[in-house]
Amino acid sequence: MEQNSNKNLIQYAMEYGSYLGLMLIFKFVLASFSATSSISNILASILIIVVPVMAFYFMRMFRDRSKTYTYGKLCLFGIYMYFFSALLSGIFEYVYYQYLNPDYLYAQQEALKVLVEELAKVDTSQTMSEFQSSYANVAPTTAIQFVFQGIWGLFMLGSIYSLILALILRKRVVEI
């Protein structure tokens, strides 16, 4: 990564967001193999911790390269960075759910249905029976719906994290 002083906030966010998105794609691939490989499960769990650390590192690099010290710009950079990374990983996840493994979501929903039925046998309360009947009426989630939920969730969590990180990374500039 070479320093380019002509970049604006969105260009930095796209660059660092693409790196973060590639890391999220790698985490997704490892998580998809975690059912068959315990090493993949461990590595995916480690990457869950590494992603916020890398976001902190990228926000600090942006602050230092662009000489931006205000809370608002740092926060906006983090929000944009998570937005672009969520879009990149969402595209990969959609391709996986729609074309590479189209039965994955259906199998997960069926497994959840079996789990709800088993829980209903153990817990006979009114709340559980209402949950079971409401779950039976829910339509299956399509790949695009599932991906949009993931993008929205990552964007919201990234936005909250960016609010906190911008507070930590801002520098007070004292003018004399």
| Residue-wise pLDDT tens digits, 85-144 | 999 999 999 999 999 999 988 888 888 888 877 877 777 777 777 777 777 777 778 999
How many whole angstroms separate alpha carbon 100 and alpha carbon 93?
10
User: What pLDDT is stored for residue 135 in this prediction?
Assistant: 73
Treating both helix axes as pointing N-terminal to C-terminal, what angle do 9-32 and 38-66 enclose, rounded to 10 degrees? Answer: 170
With b for 16 or more beta-carbon neighbours within 10 A and e for fewer, the 37-56 pattern comes to: eeebeebbeebeeebeebbb
pLDDT 10s digits, 42-101: 999 999 999 999 999 999 999 999 888 889 999 999 999 999 999 999 999 999 999 999
